[in-house]
Amino acid sequence: MRLKLDPRTKLYMLLIVSAIVMMSATTPLLWTIRIVVTVIPLLLLISEKRYASAFRFAALYTVALVLTFRFLSEESTGILKALLTGYSGIVVQFLPALITAWYVVRTTKIGEFMSAMQRMHVPDGIAISLAVVMRFFPTIKEEYASISDAMRMRGIALGGGNAAKMIEYRMIPLLFSCVNIGDELSAAAITRGLGGKGKRTSVEVLRLRAFDWLLIAVFTAAAVVFVVFKYVL
Amino acid sequence: MKESIIEIAHVSFQYKGSANGFLKDISLSVKKGETLLLTGLSGSGKTTIIRLINGLIPHYYPGELAGSISVAGHDIAKTELYELAGLVGTVFQNPRSQFFSVDTDGEIVFGPENIGLDPTEIINRKQTVVREMQIEKLLGRSLFELSGGEKQRIACASVSALLPDIILLDEPSSNLDQGAIENLREEIKRWKEQGKTLVISEHRLWYLKDLADRVIYMDAGSIRQEWSGPEFASMGSETVRQLQLRPLEVPDISPPICEGGCDCADDCKTVSPLPLSDDGFLLKDFYFSYHRKPNLFGKKKLTGQDDMLSLCIPHLVLPKRSVIGVIGKNGTGKSTFLKCVCGLEKDCKGSIEIDGKTYKGKDRRKLCYMVMQDVNHQLFTDSVEAEILLSMKEGSKERCDTILESLSILAYKSMHPMALSGGQKQRVAIASAIAANAKLMLFDEPTSGLDFAHMEKVGALLKNLAASGNTVLVATHDLELIELCCDYVLCIENGKLGYMRKVGSLQ
């Protein structure tokens, strides 16, 4: 089953999840809420048939959770445990936001996004910048893939064992080509009237359906309960 | 006499912070409904003229501008770019970087949305354009999965949807194959019939010669010569050559396109390659599939019987010391073939046998080196010398100098590779291929967007590489290049070996 969510719902989810990951969970109830807001975007990814990414995210998150609760504690000592604590801490803390962001970026068309931004009266300047960022992810991915190919071909994928070189070799060509593409992209967009003074229109008709409202309610409730139980009670 | 719609009067222009790419006292007027073809060497100012008309100069690319440009009564210098959007449409060279949307539908309506048209009107326009161009099949797709030719059709559609009176095309065929160029030609013809004014900057001339009403030859920022369409079309091949333009006729490398007429076999098992001696690179079991996803634990094992193969070449001999042109339509598997040969696709288990040795898997990378279409992706260091040394195991500076000398880029030894011109960068990449002792060199579209003079240089270079003992495999859409330098031509169709034959021989 494929659920077509309104982009505004998706952005709202992203906002709430981001807020929740910024507050540390301390009690079992708070942990439950966190896990719930992580599982929902995972299910949504599955409903969009993005099984591979859903599986990877789920595995990563579960491993980090298990590590945090079963194997690590304040008394843990040793370098390995310190590294593991750092790793799983970061994953458990921020992965929920990443999963949601991934879902939003991969399932929202630029047209829908621009239309949603207009309906929310976001200035065009901001909406366009954000849209360009979304447009750029697949480009970066393509460029990155061909740079990786070039590196493997020359046998320098690992930078000759030098971590700094490894990053340098990847980043320099990537930055050059992204700057070039960005430049050509804006020139092309401007010649087609982007950034004009007139009001932009949109062919995408947005409507909040029952399922949108349900999700908005669930996420609002999650945020309220989280804040109330953490800071008020 | 029709009124003129574009009027360029005594315009000089110099890009900010750059010494080249400037125009000197250009005057040009284009009549309503005229089709003007701009040609000339790379860097002669063709693109700059296109940018003058669509207003990107001076509004997007700053520089020193003198003289006046008026387009349909608008003084460009005083007109905001968005006001020109419904008036002047531009199709750019690189299909990769002219999209704002991620999906095809969104892209077609992007322009009309920007100028604030009513949504029902936008939908109507979209439907009209889609019907006229017959691109129903491309709707609802991601732009990132389209082939170059399909992307360019969407670019044309999205320009059409704005209903501009003037359409500019900046080297639109650079990345297109024969069939896609035919489509582009049809589109240009249709625009011409609709009475649009067209200005086209292009190196490939054969597909435009009977569409252009007037042809302008640019050289070093000035208009050097001007012909009427028929005059130009009947020009002798000697004159064309002297002007260093690409030929007006498609070179005949029988069959010119791998479509009907050729002996492309359907069943990949039954294809017999050119009967050759064993003195060559023997490619065995090259199978690859984009559709078969690997399962979570094991690698996929592909065989020739699989019906979802993107590449299926069970047996192929590449003759040593020769230049072999690889042709085929956009998206038919040429690049995939090159990537598989040099071992970049892990799932392709093919082996290469040469001189009694067999190279498999990663070892193939020691034998092969690919010069990519976008060479920017394979230059990593901060100087040309470091770039070459990176490819050498022993790191001998003398050898590095010798290689650079042989490619006549020794003078740029200490420069940053990114500061070089496109052709020089390509030579740096070739130099690292030589440094890495690659015996089989692969080139992916080395001449896309090049003028004839540069193409001749590339051709000579490839011939030299073959003469000095390498084997060169070059994937290209430029039949001119094949005529210039290839010994053999290899046609790939739908991932299968169509045919392989000697260039020039009809057998």
pLDDT in tens, A111-132: 889 889 888 988 888 888 888 8
What is the Cα–Cα distance from B373 to B367, expressed in whole angstroms? 20
Chain A contacts of B372, Cβ < 8 Å?
146, 149-150
Is B326 within 8 Å of B473 (Cβ atoms)? yes
Among the listed ranges A120-124, B15-19, B386-390, which one has the minimum average pLDDT value?
Answer: B15-19
Average pLDDT over residues B292-304: 56
Judged by a CB distance cut-off of 8 A, whether residue B105 touches chain A is: yes
Q: Is the pLDDT of residue B176 over 50?
A: yes
CA distance B260 to chain A (A): 33
Same domain as A100, residue A130: no
Residue B334 has a pLDDT of: 85
Minimum mean pLDDT among A37-41, A143-147, B185-189, B277-281: which range?
A: B277-281
A194 in contact with B at a CB cutoff of 8 Å?
Answer: yes
- For residue B365, the distance in angstroms to the closest alpha carbon of chain A comes to 6
Residues of A in contact with B123 (CB under 8 A): 203
Interface of B with A in 456-475 (CB under 8 A): none
- A96 and A209, same domain (yes or no): yes
The whole-number pLDDT of residue B273 equals 47
Contact B378 A150 (CB under 8 A): yes
Inter-chain touch B380–A151, beta carbons under 8 Å: yes
The answer to whether residue A153 is domain-embedded is yes
Instruction: Give the residue with greater pLDDT, B251 vs B386.
Output: B386
B370 touching A (Cβ < 8 Å): yes
pLDDT at B34: 94
Whether residue A127 sits in one domain with residue A14: no
With an 8 Å Cβ cutoff, is B275 touching chain A? no
Is B365 in Cβ contact with A155 (below 8 Å)? yes
Q: State whether B370 and A153 contact (CB < 8 Å).
A: yes
Token pair for residue A174?
A: 């990537």
Task: For the domain made up of B4-242, give the CATH fold.
Answer: Rossmann fold (3.40.50)
In chain A, whose CA is at the least distance from the CA of B167?
Answer: A191
- Does A192 sit within 8 Å of B159, measured CB to CB? yes
| Averaged pLDDT score across all residues of chain B | 84
Question: Contact, B71 vs B53, CB < 8 A?
Answer: yes
Most confident of B153-157, B330-334, B350-354: B153-157
Cβ distance B168 to B89 under 8 Å?
Answer: yes
pLDDT at A44 (0 to 100)? 92
Is residue A97 domain-shared with residue A133, that is, in the same domain?
no
The distance of B364 to chain A (nearest Cα, Å) reads: 9
Are both A102 and A134 inside the same structural domain?
no
Helix crossing, B148-160 with B119-133: angle to 10°?
130
Residue A58 lies in a domain: yes
Q: Which of B60, B123, B380 sits opposite A172 (nearest CB)?
A: B380
Task: Assess if residue A44 is contained within a domain.
Answer: yes
- The verdict on A157 touching B (C-beta cutoff 8 Å) is no
146-165 of B, contacting A, C-beta below 8 A: 158-159, 162
Q: What CATH class has B268-502?
A: alpha beta
Calculate what percentage of chain B has a pLDDT beyond 90: 31
**Tens digit of each residue's pLDDT (9 = 90 or more) over B36-72:** 999 988 878 888 999 999 999 888 988 888 999 999 9
- CA distance to partner chain A, nearest, from residue B342 (Å): 8
Q: What pLDDT does residue B258 have?
A: 42
| Whether the Cβ atoms of residue B485 and residue B323 lie closer than 8 Å to each other | yes
**The pLDDT value given to residue A68:** 83
The pLDDT confidence band at residue B292, using thresholds 50, 70 and 90, is low
What is the per-residue pLDDT for B196?
Answer: 94
Specify whether A77 is located in the same domain as A167.
no
Q: Which of B62-66, B108-112, B268-272, B352-356 has the lowest mean pLDDT?
A: B268-272
The A residues from 165 to 184 touching B (CB cutoff 8 Å) are 168-169, 172-173, 176-177, 180-181, 184
Residue with tokens 């921020």: A94
Is the pLDDT at B210 greater than 70? The verdict is yes
Q: Check for a shared fold between B4-242 and B268-502.
A: yes
Q: Do A198 and B92 touch (CB under 8 A)?
A: no
What is the domain extent for residue A177?
123-191
Say if A76 is an interface residue toward chain B (CB within 8 Å).
Answer: no
pLDDT for res B301: 61
Question: How distant, in Å, are the alpha carbons of B69, B169, B207, B427 from that of B50?
Answer: 12, 8, 20, 29
Domain count, chain A: 2
A229-233, B270-274, B438-442: the lowest-pLDDT one: B270-274
Q: How much is the pLDDT for B306? A: 62
Q: How confident is the model at residue B263 (pLDDT cuts 50, 70, 90)?
A: very low
- Tell me if B85 and A150 make a contact (CB, 8 A cut-off): no
Contact B409, B443 (CB under 8 A): no
Contact yes or no for B101 and A146 at CB 8 A: no
Is A6 an 8 Å CB contact of chain B? no
CB proximity A131 to B under 8 Å: yes
Compute the distance between CA of residue A27 and CA of residue A233 in angstroms, rounded to an integer: 12
pLDDT value for B298: 47
- Judged against a pLDDT cut of 90, whether residue B155 lies above it is answered with yes
User: Over 70: is that where the pLDDT of B255 sits?
Assistant: no
Least confident segment among A205-214, B256-265, B314-323, B423-432: B256-265
Q: What is the pLDDT of residue B363?
A: 84
Tell if the CB–CB gap between B436 and A154 is shorter than 8 Å. Answer: yes
DSSP state letters, B159-222: HHTT--SEEEEESTTTT--HHHHHHHHHHHHHHHHTT-EEEEE-S--TTTTTT-SEEEEEETTE
Task: Give residue limits of the domains in chain B.
Answer: 4-242, 268-502
Per-residue pLDDT tens digits for B82-108: 889 889 999 998 888 888 888 899 999
Q: How far apart are CA A85 and CA B125, in angstroms?
A: 58
Cβ-nearest to B390 among A147, A154, A199: A154
> A173: which chain B residues are within 8 Å (Cβ-Cβ)?
376-380
Contact check, Cβ <8 Å, A200/B116: yes
Q: Retrieve residue A87's tokens.
A: 């790793």
Beta strands (DSSP E) in B320-464 are 323-327, 351-354, 357-360, 368-371, 440-444
Q: Which residue has the higher pLDDT, A226 or B331?
A: A226
Which residue of B378, B425, B445 to mutate against A (max A Cβ within 10 Å)? B378
Q: What is the pLDDT of residue B288?
A: 82
Q: Yes or no: say if B93 and B125 are a contact pair by the CB < 8 Å rule.
A: no
- The answer to whether residues A223 and A169 belong to one domain is no
Cα→Cα distances B166→B110, B140, B173, B443, Å: 18, 28, 19, 37
pLDDT < 70: residue spans in chain A: 1-2, 73-74, 76, 159-160
Give the model's pLDDT for residue A13. 94
Range among A108-112, B196-200, B302-306, B466-470 rated most confident:
B196-200
Contacts of B365 in chain A (CB under 8 A): 152-153, 155
B137: CB partners within 8 A, 6+ apart:
none
